[in-house]
């Protein structure tokens, strides 16, 4: 117990709201956070990336990326725990969880999911477009250029340049 750290919050209410949103929408990240990362922080094993160090006040700031779905990461970004370690006081200060907008909105409103990914109510169409785009890219919905012979690609590009050149030339002449 002598080497254990105390976990505290900058704003406990806001942090708990975001934590509950993670519990509701990403159970794997919540379980890792609660049962693996918090005990590790209490033991003095600081996980994540060291972002900055204040040697005068003996404060280290860390960012820990929580596990989540690849599609969620591409649509909303990584779920990241931001915390500071006060080495003199043996205190771990939990600052925030990001992405804050979707987590805060997830606490305030019942968010819908689209193809297994949370969709924000404020920009629902944009999130759905991103999810559809990512799914179509994953299913190889786009042309695979590596399978097309190079002479076909060059012919196609020359044709497009010719058509554009003629269109611009007619526009300039008028």
Per residue in 32-76, pLDDT (tens digit) is: 999 999 999 999 899 999 999 999 999 999 999 999 888 778 877
User: How many domains in the chain?
Assistant: 1
Alpha-carbon distances, residue 46 vs 64, 144, 146 (angstroms): 9, 44, 45
Q: Residue 171 falls within a domain, yes or no?
A: no
Residue 23 lies in a domain: yes
Average pLDDT of the residues of the chain: 81
Neighbours of 92 (CB within 10 A): 21
What is residue 119's predicted lDDT score, i.e. its pLDDT?
Answer: 77
Q: Which residues is 74 bridged to in the sheet? A: none
> How far from each other are the two terminal CA atoms of the chain, in whole angstroms?
85
pLDDT grade, residue 131 (50/70/90)?
confident
Specify if 107 maps to a domain. yes
> What is the pTM assigned to this prediction?
0.69
pLDDT of residue 148: 65
In this structure, is residue 137 part of a structural domain? no
In a domain, 153, yes or no: no
Q: Residue 22 is part of which domain span? A: 6-121
Higher model confidence: residue 42 or residue 101? 42
148, part of any domain = no
pLDDT higher than threshold 80 for residue 89: yes
pLDDT at residue 61, rounded to an integer: 94
Is residue 61 within 8 Å of 84, Cβ to Cβ?
Answer: yes
Under 8 Å between Cβ of 50 and 61: yes
Answer yes or no: is 170 within a domain. Answer: no
Query: Does residue 165 lie in a domain region?
Result: no
């Amino acid at each position: 117990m002598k080497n254990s750290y105390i976990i505290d919050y900058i704003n406990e209410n806001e942090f708990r709201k975001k934590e509950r949103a993670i519990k509701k929408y990403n159970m794997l990240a919540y379980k890792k956070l609660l049962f693996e990362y918090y005990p590790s922080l209490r033991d003095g094993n600081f996980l994540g990336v060291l972002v900055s160090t204040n040697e005068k006040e003996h404060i280290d700031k860390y960012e820990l990326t929580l596990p989540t779905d690849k599609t969620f990461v591409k649509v909303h970004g990584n779920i990241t725990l931001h915390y500071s370690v006060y080495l003199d006081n043996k205190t771990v200060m939990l600052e925030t969880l990001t992405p804050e907008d979707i987590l805060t909105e997830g606490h305030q409103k019942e968010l819908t999911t689209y193809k297994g990914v949370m969709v924000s109510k404020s920009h629902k169409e944009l999130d759905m477009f991103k999810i559809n785009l990512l799914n179509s890219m994953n299913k190889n919905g786009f042309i695979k250029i590596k399978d097309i012979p190079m002479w076909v690609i060059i012919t196609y590009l020359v044709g497009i340049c010719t058509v554009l050149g003629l269109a611009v030339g007619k526009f300039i002449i008028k």
